[in-house]
Amino acid sequence: MEETKQKNTPSAKGPEKEAGGFKQTRRPGFGRAGVGRNVPRDEFESKLLDLARVVRVTGGGKRLRFRAVMAAGNKKGKVGIGVDKGKDVSQAIEKATRMAKKNLIDVIIINETIPHEVEAKLGPARLLLKPQRKGRGLVAGGAVRTICDLAGIKNISSKILSGSKNKLNNARVTIEALKKLKQRH
C-alpha cells in the first residue's frame, strides 16, 4: 500500500494535521495547553454541606439518585444554599451549586461580625447567632460554620438550640437567621 503525503499548508485557523485520512484543523488556544486560560474565575466559592443517597421505590424496583446540599458565597456579604438531585454525584453537585448561586441573600456585616443577636426557627431546627468582638473567631460548627465563613463573617458565636444533626435543616435555619438581621442606626 502506498501512502500519499500532502503538504501541510498553514491556514488562518492554525496548522493542519492528517489524522486517519482526514484533514484536521487545530485552532490555537484549544487543547490541553490552552483550556480555560481566558475564562474569568467565578467570584463565588462553593462548599459541599451534605451528600445523600436517596431511593425512590417504583413498581419496577428501586431508583437510586444522589442529593447534594451546597453552600455558595463570595465572602463579601452574599451567601446562599442549593439542594438538588442527580443520577450521579458530580451531576447532583453541579445542579446544587447552580441553585445555591440563584438563591443568594445579602448579609449585613459590621466590623467582621453581625450587628445584633438573632434567633431563628425553621421546621425542627432552632439556632442562636451572637456577634463577637474582633479576634474571637468563628465559634460555630458544621453547616453554620461553613455558611458564616462563605458569607464573610469572621467573628461570631452560634448555638444550635434544637439538637438537630440534620445538615440541611441547620443550613436553612442559618440562612433564615441571617435574613432577619437589620441595620442598627
108-158 pLDDT, tens per residue?
Answer: 999 999 999 999 999 999 999 999 999 999 999 999 999 999 999 999 999
Instruction: Please give the share of the chain, as a percent, with pLDDT higher than 70.
Output: 77
pLDDT-derived band at 184 (thresholds 50, 70, 90) equals: confident
Which DSSP string do the residues of 136-154 spell out, in sequence order? Answer: --EE--HHHHHHHHHHT--
List, in sequence order, every beta strand (DSSP E) within 74-174: 78-86, 105-106, 118-122, 125-131, 138-139, 156-160
Cell numbers 442549593 correspond to: 82
CA separation for the pair 105, 80 (Å, rounded):
6
Residue extent(s) of CATH 3.30.160.20 domains in the chain = 45-105
Domain 107-179 of CATH type 1.10.357.10: no
- Outline which parts of the chain fall under CATH 3.30.230.10: 107-179
CATH top class, domain 45-105 = alpha beta
| Percent with pLDDT over 90 in the chain | 74
pTM, full prediction: 0.75
- DSSP 8-state secondary structure symbol assigned to residue 40: P
